[in-house]
Homo-oligomer: A and B are copies of this chain.
Amino acid sequence: MSKPKRYVFFVSDSTGITVSTLGNSLLAQFEDNVEFEFTTITFIQSVEQAEDAVKQINEYAKTAEYRPIIFATLIELPYRHILTKANALLFDIFGRFIEPLELELGLKSSHAIGRTHNKGEETLSYYNRIEAINFALQHDDGASVKRYEEAEIILLGVSRSGKTPTCLYLAMNFAVTAANYPLIAEELGDGLPSILQPHQHKLFGLTIAPENLQRIRQQRYPNSDYASLKTCQIEVQKIEALFRQLKIPYINATHTSIEEISAMILKQTGLKKRFK
């Protein structure tokens, strides 16, 4: 039996990040039984643009079996009002929360569009993030070990275990200064490389199921020794032994998204994001 199909629209006066994050998270609870098709409409900042969004949604409504669903984060009341004219179920997210917040805080909201990303500390945040990204790039995969004393965390793992994307995500989203060091096959089993020894308190390990590691390596270097299951098994076994022996905290990244790995690292290390 095919799943019923529902058209979903995320409508925002800014980037659409807030609304699509929340909407995806809510609808994921139903996706075993419904097929969702998502459209994100961003930067609605005029009456015309709001009316165009309604037109676009109503076009879908005409042919769809069920009415579309809209999740909207629009600050301006007039635009929110225009959206109510769509032939759709509307979740007006700001509408739902702003009023109780106004009551609790005893204040009116500022009706400032795109506020989250346009703040006083903007410049500082921007510099922090860019600096952290540059640091991650310069200290990726052991490329440089020069400024390890500045690193807040140094990720260890076998090649292709997800160190690079995790470092970049930590830098981009939390301005965390993260380096990573690959423990190559030849080094494994000899204890901690001397370059890392002064930084042992900052080390954090990533590991991965050998079968998944094999699949990832196979994509890049098919049928190589490096991508053989045997090699992957030995490397993973050796690095996990090292983590345990030196009491380096580590997590298994096998079925874990970059977001989850990063959030787990922050939780376990107590590192805090360096901007809002």
User: Chain A: residues with CB nearer than 8 A to chain B?
Assistant: 6, 14-18, 21-22, 24-34, 38, 42-43, 69, 73, 75, 89, 91, 93-94, 96-98, 100-101, 104-105, 107, 109-112, 114-119, 122, 125-127, 129-130, 133-134, 137, 140, 162, 164-165, 168-169, 172, 216, 219, 255, 257-260, 262-264, 266-267, 276
Enumerate chain B residues within 8 angstroms of A134, measured Cβ to Cβ.
164
The 4 A-B pairs of least Cβ separation, nearest first, read A28-B115, A15-B263, A29-B109, A117-B257
Per DSSP, are chain A's interface residues mostly helix, strand or loop, or mixed? helix
Enumerate chain B residues within 8 angstroms of A125, measured Cβ to Cβ.
257
Partner of A259, one of B17, B73, B94, B119: B17
> Which residue of chain B has its CB nearest to the CB of A114?
B260
CB of A30 within 8 A of CB of B119, answer no
Given contacts A29-B115, A172-B258, A257-B122, contact A21 B22 (CB under 8 A): yes
Interface centre among A42, A73, A97 (most CB of B within 10 A): A97
Enumerate chain B residues within 8 angstroms of A28, measured Cβ to Cβ.
112, 115-116, 119
CB of B115 within 8 A of CB of A165, answer no
| Apart from A34-B105, A117-B260, A172-B258, 17 more pairs, CB < 8 Å | A18-B21, A22-B93, A24-B276, A26-B101, A29-B98, A29-B111, A30-B109, A33-B105, A43-B264, A91-B100, A117-B259, A122-B255, A126-B257, A127-B219, A130-B165, A137-B140, A165-B172
CB of B22 within 8 A of CB of A129, answer no
CB of A75 within 8 A of CB of B29, answer yes
Inter-chain CA distance A34–B101, complex, in Å, is: 12
Inter-chain CA distance A119–B38, complex, in Å, is: 16
